[in-house]
Structure 1
């Protein structure tokens, strides 16, 4: 069962902290003079650390609310920091003017900064409009919750949230919206809790459903795949890629992208061996997780996984979902 993305905690969790920061910095070391793309800028935690280590950073984010953090780094570090608004699935195009690029770092999923802003609608712990749009544009979570048929909604919650009780939750949601549209985060969280109950010590019953809705609203799997292939196009031989993900669905995509053989069928030693495609990524590092010290400081780091690899000289592949196990919502 997949881990939840950026698990929510109490107000005492503290401000946003970039997870696995030391490990990310080590991926690109030595950093002095290197040019790194921070494809998921957020509050600028990775960018600041990279800048302080001597790198030039190109920060990319589609969330307009991050602009004050970007302006602060630009004021402090001058032309060593460049901010480019946009989606990380287009990072090769957005960073092209600043090439050559030595590395790309991606921190996938919703940030604690976004969770802490009730008006953004990401959190089931804070009352706010049922929104969840990172860019502020397009369909909101409320549109999905109030517009999808019961079976469509159940399939979405199962595919993107691995929610085993998705059908019961969808039935309760569609019954509740017959009275009035569901508009707030706490209202939806209460409906889900009523549908499946809550055991002491367990994660909040709305965790997986909120994850699924957020992923659907922001097309997160499509964005992730796009960003991985964009990094492959952008980086030359020896360039490094570091990706931090927060649940098993994302991590599986990253793992199979970096090492396609992981997603292929096992070969029998009694049959002729199939020769795989040339490797676009080499020196694929073993997955890293947060240690006890970081978990003590930052409970939100407990599901984080870092994967890193080095770009080979082989030309980039065309974008393809084949072999990446990207979750799909079954049609009703």
Structure 2
């Protein structure tokens, strides 16, 4: 598809599925709440004569987006900030209602591929992990948190079963010298855990946990999902792509509650497509969509992706059984 890439290094995940769920229309106003490399924003602009607002907390992402905004004068507007603050960011720009919102959760390819950002255990760099340019770094966490608190972070946000052993090793290592690089931290973790038979690096879950903690990612998602329901106009759509179970659980629960399905039926039950009394939204996905086998093969980072979507009902539809 034309416009599917912003540059050779950025491949938007499940782009065709995102566009199908969002259904951009001429005259519509849309939000790309996680601009990143701009892949979704560009595709939305190409799909319809519409206006796109884009949010990213990373100043580098906003700078990258300037060229795309220049190619679409008056149609793409960039806002630096956190997507969990979307209501206030948009209100300050005079926007109070949207026809669609897309959120691509987690770390961007640009951040992951830049050793200086400290997100990856595959390349040595400073142990930072901040998506923006302020706040606590991962190095500060691993060098200051008490052992139990550090183990709790690894278990809660990384679902790391060996969290206590890893935390103990980190505390012992930092007594010798502060842990300030991704290379040293990953080596400490690999010294505790044997290689995973699945091929997943032993440091994967711990790095995920620290990144989520540093950026308050789950809190951001909860706030963004709540605010999205307030911003969407009747028939407006919310499309969310998540990459691990912690994110997907939050999205699944929030959408079920918005659709009046807090204790929803089986995924095979067709009632999942219809709002119950009190539901303000209709689920567009009864279960999470996954990338095609071809995409998973061509873009390994898409393999864990899950897409969920819902649509706001018109006031007259809100009480339908």
**Which residue number in structure 2 is paired with residue 306 of structure 1?**
307
State how 1:189-228 maps to structure 2 within 5 Å: 189-199=186-196, 201-228=198-225
Say if 1:85 and 1:199 are closer, same or farther in 2 by CA, change over 3 A. Answer: closer
**Secondary structure of residue in 1 paired with 2:195:** coil
**Secondary structure of residue in 1 paired with 2:120:** coil
1:272-329 CA distance string (max 9 Å, x none): xxxx872132134132100011112211000000000011357xxxxxxxxxxxxxxx
Q: Normalized against structure 1, the TM-score is what?
A: 0.84
**Which residue number in structure 1 is paired with residue 298 of structure 2?**
297
**Secondary structure of residue in 1 paired with 2:278:** coil
- Give the drift of 1:265: 9.3
Task: State which of 62, 67, 80 in structure 2 corresponds to 1:67.
Answer: 62
* Distance in structure 1 (CA, Å) of the matches to 2:115 and 2:44: 30
- Give the drift of 1:56: 1.4
**Which residue number in structure 1 is paired with residue 145 of structure 2?**
148
**Secondary structure of residue in 2 paired with 1:182:** coil
**Which residue number in structure 2 is paired with residue 123 of structure 1?**
120
State how 1:243-322 maps to structure 2 within 5 Å: 243-260=240-257, 264=263, 278-286=278-286, 287-313=288-314
The answer to whether structure 1 residue 86 and structure 2 residue 81 are counterparts is yes
**Secondary structure of residue in 1 paired with 2:130:** coil
**Which residue number in structure 1 is paired with residue 134 of structure 2?**
137
- Give the drift of 1:195: 0.8
- Give the drift of 1:28: 2.2
**Secondary structure of residue in 1 paired with 2:252:** helix
**Which residue number in structure 2 is paired with residue 24 of structure 1?**
18
Work out whether residues 160 and 216 of structure 1, in 8 Å CA contact, stay in contact via their aligned partners in 2: yes
Work out whether residues 280 and 311 of structure 1, in 8 Å CA contact, stay in contact via their aligned partners in 2: yes
1:142-171 CA distance string (max 9 Å, x none): 011000111111111000000000000001
**Which residue number in structure 1 is paired with residue 30 of structure 2?**
36
The answer to whether structure 1 residue 173 and structure 2 residue 170 are counterparts is yes
Work out whether residues 106 and 243 of structure 1, in 8 Å CA contact, stay in contact via their aligned partners in 2: yes
Structure 1 window deviating more from structure 2 (118-127 vs 290-299): it is 290-299
Count of aligned residue pairs for this structure pair: 292
* Distance in structure 1 (CA, Å) of the matches to 2:24 and 2:196: 48
**Which residue number in structure 1 is paired with residue 318 of structure 2?**
none
Q: Normalized against structure 2, the TM-score is what?
A: 0.87
Unaligned runs of 5+ in 1: 1-13, 267-275, 315-332
* Distance in structure 2 (CA, Å) of the matches to 1:256 and 1:300: 24
- Give the drift of 1:30: 4.5
- Give the drift of 1:67: 2.2
Q: Which has the higher contact order (CA 8 A, sep 6+)?
A: 1
**Secondary structure of residue in 1 paired with 2:175:** coil
Work out whether residues 259 and 284 of structure 1, in 8 Å CA contact, stay in contact via their aligned partners in 2: no
Unaligned runs of 5+ in 2: 1-7, 266-275, 316-321
* Distance in structure 1 (CA, Å) of the matches to 2:159 and 2:68: 38
**Secondary structure of residue in 1 paired with 2:72:** helix
Work out whether residues 62 and 79 of structure 2, in 8 Å CA contact, stay in contact via their aligned partners in 1: no
Say if 1:46 and 1:178 are closer, same or farther in 2 by CA, change over 3 A. Answer: same
* Distance in structure 2 (CA, Å) of the matches to 1:15 and 1:262: 40
